[in-house]
């Protein structure tokens, strides 16, 4: 009898542990993220780095893009070398080191080193911990969707607390102290994970498709290693000589973020390890993935454009005390936690109804809603003076309803549709939707400024809503490919 058979409220026990471990990891990530923009653009005299706001917005976006981009590499390392459990642990340690870097008053250098460490760490941890959730359930276990919703609530518990704790301390006392708290949160997450790892499925213990070095053609090995070494030398060299500016880093990451999933889909679709049935499902997954990319373009601007809108264009004294701007980053997760039980009932009703909505329907609705959350902001932005904070709260609440139609469902659909040989890597691929989204956002946010905010929100919001309508129209075609029993 396997450890993961023991149940907790009708779910495998391992789920509780993963819930809390991921909650603490997300606490560290979103705590750091709640401060990042302000830390970058604040004047040096005020403890910031004094980076111009537009560059800072793009940098925050590519920072996020890099963390999810690395999930592809992390997924590969897990599938071929380490397995999920070890990758998660190693990732947690790297993330903690990244936050410690930011906690040291070491300026822009520490910022870039932290970005490398947190990207590598999150790349290892995020896909592997999500895939461990999927592995708690057997092939057609009907509880998997619910399991991912519960797990997603863990993400949100961490994400709601982080800005309130890390954000408040960082904004009111000292940025580095705030980042230090993020490191501390990751340390707690690691302790939790060490305690619960025995409750995971045996599948988390070993690589799913172990790499046997003897089987790899020598030529290919040499090519891959050489390319890695050359790219590393090129990057370090151009950074040291000053050829690679902050703007250069932004454009480079944007480009890679878009190219990566395209390449990866191509590799998977062509791989001899993928069966014909798996290939057909994967093709149906592509439009879902594209929808997710555009959803994250909007949702992830919570830490860039919306963070700046909160600090600059919102009346933070409207409630009679000075609300720290970072608190707005808790709104979405708070709404998500409140609505999760409601959505659990809603999905159960809809999914068992005579005409259950397909994954593509849910994603289409998510996009339309995300677009509307921006359209709502056109009104207060078009008026003179500071906006009442409730506008922003309303917009963040709306985009979160979209998130509930897309993000947990996407995780579950990914676990269901992943070709066996690429199990954890497909989870990594799903995360690169967030990477590509932020890569695109890194370019888009350059067009934002407080004076023309109404136009920005109108164009980006309407564009996204239209994309959602297109997806809704195409949904019946996509359903045929993706919503079959695996």
- Residues making contact with ligand GLN (CB under 6 A): 26, 68, 155, 296, 300, 407, 431, 434
In angstroms, give the least distance from the CB of 403 to ligand GLN: 7
Please, are residues 15 and 148 in contact by the beta-carbon 8 Å criterion? no
Q: What sign for the dihedral angle of Cα 207, 211, 213, 214?
A: positive
Q: Which is nearer to ligand GLN, 313 or 329 (CB)?
A: 329
Rounded to an integer, what is the distance from CA 345 to the centroid of its chain?
Answer: 25
In angstroms, give the least distance from the CB of 214 to ligand GLN: 37
The torsion of the CA quartet 83, 89, 95, 101, rounded to 10 degrees, works out to: -130
61 three-class SS: helix
For residue 11, give the H/E element and its range. strand 11-12
Q: Tell me the two tokens of residue 125.
A: 């941890």
Q: Which is nearer to ligand GLN, 100 or 431 (CB)?
A: 431
**DSSP structure class, residue 386:** P
Q: Tell me the two tokens of residue 103.
A: 């906690």
Distance CA 181, CA 165 (A): 8
In angstroms, give the least distance from the CB of 407 to ligand GLN: 5
In angstroms, give the least distance from the CB of 35 to ligand GLN: 16
Q: Which is nearer to ligand GLN, 39 or 151 (CB)?
A: 151
Please, are residues 400 and 339 in contact by the beta-carbon 8 Å criterion? yes
Q: Which is nearer to ligand GLN, 82 or 293 (CB)?
A: 293
Residue with tokens 């923009």: 37
Q: Which is nearer to ligand GLN, 67 or 313 (CB)?
A: 67
Taking CB atoms, the residue at the shortest distance from ligand GLN is 434
In angstroms, give the least distance from the CB of 395 to ligand GLN: 17
Q: Tell me the two tokens of residue 5.
A: 């058979």
**DSSP structure class, residue 387:** B
Residue with tokens 């297109």: 470
In angstroms, give the least distance from the CB of 437 to ligand GLN: 7
In angstroms, give the least distance from the CB of 430 to ligand GLN: 7
Q: Which is nearer to ligand GLN, 169 or 431 (CB)?
A: 431
Q: Which is nearer to ligand GLN, 20 or 42 (CB)?
A: 20
């Amino acid at each position: 009898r396997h450890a993961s058979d023991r149940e907790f409220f009708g779910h495998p026990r391992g789920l509780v542990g993963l819930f809390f471990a991921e909650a603490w990891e997300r606490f560290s990530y979103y705590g750091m993220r709640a401060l990042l923009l302000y830390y970058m653009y604040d004047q040096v005299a005020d403890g910031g780095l004094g980076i111009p706001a537009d560059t800072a917005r793009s940098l925050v976006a590519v920072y996020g893009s890099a963390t999810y981009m690395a999930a592809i590499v992390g997924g590969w390392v897990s599938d071929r070398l380490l397995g999920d459990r070890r990758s998660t642990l190693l990732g947690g340690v790297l993330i903690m080191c990244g936050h410690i870097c930011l906690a040291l008053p070491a300026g822009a250098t520490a910022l870039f080193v932290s970005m490398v460490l947190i990207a590598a760490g999150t790349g290892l941890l995020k896909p592997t911990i999500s895939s461990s959730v999927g592995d708690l359930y057997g092939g057609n276990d009907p509880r998997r969707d619910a399991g991912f919703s519960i797990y997603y609530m863990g993400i949100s518990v961490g994400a709601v607390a982080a800005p309130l704790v890390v954000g408040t301390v960082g904004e009111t006392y000292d940025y580095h102290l705030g980042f230090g708290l993020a490191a501390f949160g990751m340390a707690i997450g690691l302790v939790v994970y060490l305690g619960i790892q025995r409750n995971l499925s045996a599948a988390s213990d070993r690589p799913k498709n172990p790499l046997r070095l003897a089987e790899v053609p020598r030529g290919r090995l040499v090519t891959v290693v050489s390319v890695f070494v050359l790219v590393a030398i090129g990057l370090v060299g151009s950074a040291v000589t000053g050829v690679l500016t902050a703007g250069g880093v932004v454009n480079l990451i944007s480009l890679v973020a878009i190219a990566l999933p395209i390449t990866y889909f191509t590799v998977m679709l062509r791989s001899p390890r993928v069966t014909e049935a798996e290939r057909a499902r994967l093709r149906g997954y592509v439009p879902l993935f594209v929808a997710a990319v555009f959803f994250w373009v909007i949702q992830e601007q919570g830490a860039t454009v919306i963070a700046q809108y909160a600090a600059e264009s919102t009346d933070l004294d409207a409630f009679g005390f000075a609300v720290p701007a970072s608190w707005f980053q808790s709104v979405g997760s708070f709404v998500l936690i409140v609505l999760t039980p409601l959505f659990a009932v809603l999905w159960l009703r809809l999914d068992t109804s005579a005409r259950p909505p397909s994954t593509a329907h849910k994603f289409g609705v998510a996009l339309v809603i995300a677009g509307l959350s921006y359209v709502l902001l056109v009104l207060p932005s078009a008026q003179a003076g500071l906006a009442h904070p409730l506008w922003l709260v309303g917009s963040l609440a709306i985009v979160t309803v979209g998130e509930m139609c897309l993000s947990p469902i996407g995780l579950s659909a990914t676990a269901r549709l992943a070709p066996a040989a690429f199990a954890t890597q497909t989870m990594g691929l799903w995360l690169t939707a967030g990477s590509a989204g932020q890569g695109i956002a890194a370019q888009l946010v350059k067009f934002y400024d407080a004076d023309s905010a109404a136009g920005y929100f109108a164009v980006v919001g309407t564009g996204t809503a239209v994309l959602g309508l297109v997806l809704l129209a195409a949904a019946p075609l996509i359903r045929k490919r993706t919503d079959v029993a695996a």
